[in-house]
A and B are shown apart, each in its own frame.
Chain A
Amino acid sequence: MGLIRVLDHVERCYNATDGQIIHDVIEKEWRQHDKITLSFEGIDSAPSSFVNVALISFLDSHDFDEIKRKLRFVNTSSQINEMIRTRFTFEAKRKAGEVH
């Protein structure tokens, strides 16, 4: 299982630039591990710009069920959890054509 500590790679989770760095780190680990755990230790909030680029962009190349099996999130605040959940749910529905 791969463990990625977000703060080992970025100083903050604030925008698309930070998100791209985390996206690239996850992408490198993707094929090497059945499961990848992303630790948000030291981070208490993440706007959508970060989450969209870091995580939601995986919906472009993987289906939602595969992402759910692969990614785990630990040391998260309620805000981070809700942002990840709501953004994935909406974008997965959009990908499936359920929302426009």
Chain B
Amino acid sequence: MYWLIEDMFKKLRHLPKVVVLDFIRLKQIQVGGIATLSNIIEFFRPMRIDIAFRNVDKCEAIKFLNGSGFLTQYDGAPQSMSDRISFLPLQLVEYDRSFNHVHNQLIPWLARTLGQDERALTSLKAGLGEVFNNIKDHSTVNVGCSASHYDEADDKITICVADFGIGIPGRVREKMQLASDQAAIAMACKQGFSTRTTPRNRGAGLHVLIQNVVARNHGTVIIHSGQGIFSCVHGPDGPSKGTGRSAPGRYPGTMIYMTLPKSGFVPDDIDEEDFQWD
């Protein structure tokens, strides 16, 4: 993914009229790659650079490219009915549409996939809302690419939301200097850390997302932004505090990649609950 991003941005220097994406050697792709490819295409679009596809139907990843809605979005190929169970198709989600996307598309698809009442997914709903609010508050762009997949054999749901905005390290460095991009992402995930990009913003969104996906539902959250990667996983002893590492390149924005094991999902209590302060 990083190699592709670097190569594509190098091509920009020559301001080509057309960039050809040749898929012939693509063996495998996941929702992160789909969302990133989509962001690249959308990034090129206002520059009037056309993207052409070559050998899509000859590559080994054709099933995923098709099922994910990527080819529907960019090549007009119809998505099959069977793919609609395994995939929530790729979408470009403007912030103003994100509430609808989370509440009326993502959550119903997740509820069907998990075999749960939608009301049992309120923690996930809030967590996914945090992802889009994070884009709105911190990224300087208004659109995120969202793609989701359920792999039944692997018991795993993956959800990816990516944008090509300023990125988390860029925002954090407006407030403090940190040694690395991964340290900046780790800081952004701490409860209470806020870049105060909006008045009364108190910094809890990424922390809440990690709590709801990793601690509560035994999933993982991996954040790629700038030259850093920050991963939170649920190990045998419980949720990790998160691990940072250098990326093999630079992600020009932020990609939030979440996985949920279907068997590890913990439904929320669907009954109303009396509020107690303590």
Interface, chain A (partner B; CB < 8 A): 12, 14-16, 19-20, 44-49, 52-53, 56-57, 68, 72-85, 87-88, 90-91, 94, 99
B133 an interface residue at 8 Å Cβ cutoff?
yes
Q: Is the CB of A49 within 8 A of B275?
A: no
| Whole-angstrom distance between the Cβ of B210 and the nearest chain A Cβ | 12
Q: A16-B133, A45-B126 are in contact. List 10 more A-B contacts (CB 8 A).
A: A12-B99, A45-B125, A47-B130, A49-B129, A53-B200, A79-B126, A80-B122, A82-B123, A87-B202, A99-B192
CB-CB nearest in chain B for A15:
B133
| Whole-angstrom distance between the Cβ of A75 and the nearest chain B Cβ | 6
Q: Is the CB of B122 within 8 A of A78?
A: yes
Q: Is the CB of A15 within 8 A of B126?
A: no
- For B99, list chain A residues within 8 Å (CB): 12, 14
CB-CB nearest in chain B for A57:
B200
CB-CB nearest in chain A for B128:
A47
Can you list 7 A-B contacts (CB < 8 A)?
A: A49-B129, A49-B133, A78-B268, A79-B268, A82-B123, A84-B275, A87-B202
A44 to B126, CA, bound (A): 9
A28 to B126, CA, bound (A): 27
CB-CB nearest in chain A for B272:
A75
Interface, chain B (partner A; CB < 8 A): 99, 119, 122-123, 125-127, 129-130, 133, 136-137, 191-192, 198, 200-202, 204-205, 207-208, 268-269, 272-273, 275-277
Q: Is the CB of A16 within 8 A of B272?
A: no
Q: Specify which of A49, A56, A57 lies most central, judged by the most chain B CB atoms within 10 Å of its CB.
A: A49
A interface, by DSSP: helix, strand, loop or mixed? helix
**Which residue in B137, B207, B276, B277 is a CB contact (below 8 Å) of A49?**
B137
- For A14, list chain B residues within 8 Å (CB): 99, 129, 133
- For A94, list chain B residues within 8 Å (CB): 192
Q: Is the CB of B201 within 8 A of A52?
A: yes
CB-CB nearest in chain B for A85:
B277
Q: Is the CB of B273 within 8 A of A83?
A: no
Q: Is the CB of A48 within 8 A of B125?
A: no
A49 to B130, CA, bound (A): 7
**Which residue in A49, A73, A87, A88 is a CB contact (below 8 Å) of B201?**
A49
- For A19, list chain B residues within 8 Å (CB): 200
CB-CB nearest in chain B for A49:
B133
| Whole-angstrom distance between the Cβ of A53 and the nearest chain B Cβ | 5
- For A49, list chain B residues within 8 Å (CB): 129-130, 133, 137, 201, 205
Q: Is the CB of A78 within 8 A of B205?
A: no
**Which residue in B202, B207, B269, B275 is a CB contact (below 8 Å) of A91?**
B202
- For A88, list chain B residues within 8 Å (CB): 277
A19 to B125, CA, bound (A): 17
Q: Specify which of A47, A56, A80, A84 lies most central, judged by the most chain B CB atoms within 10 Å of its CB.
A: A47
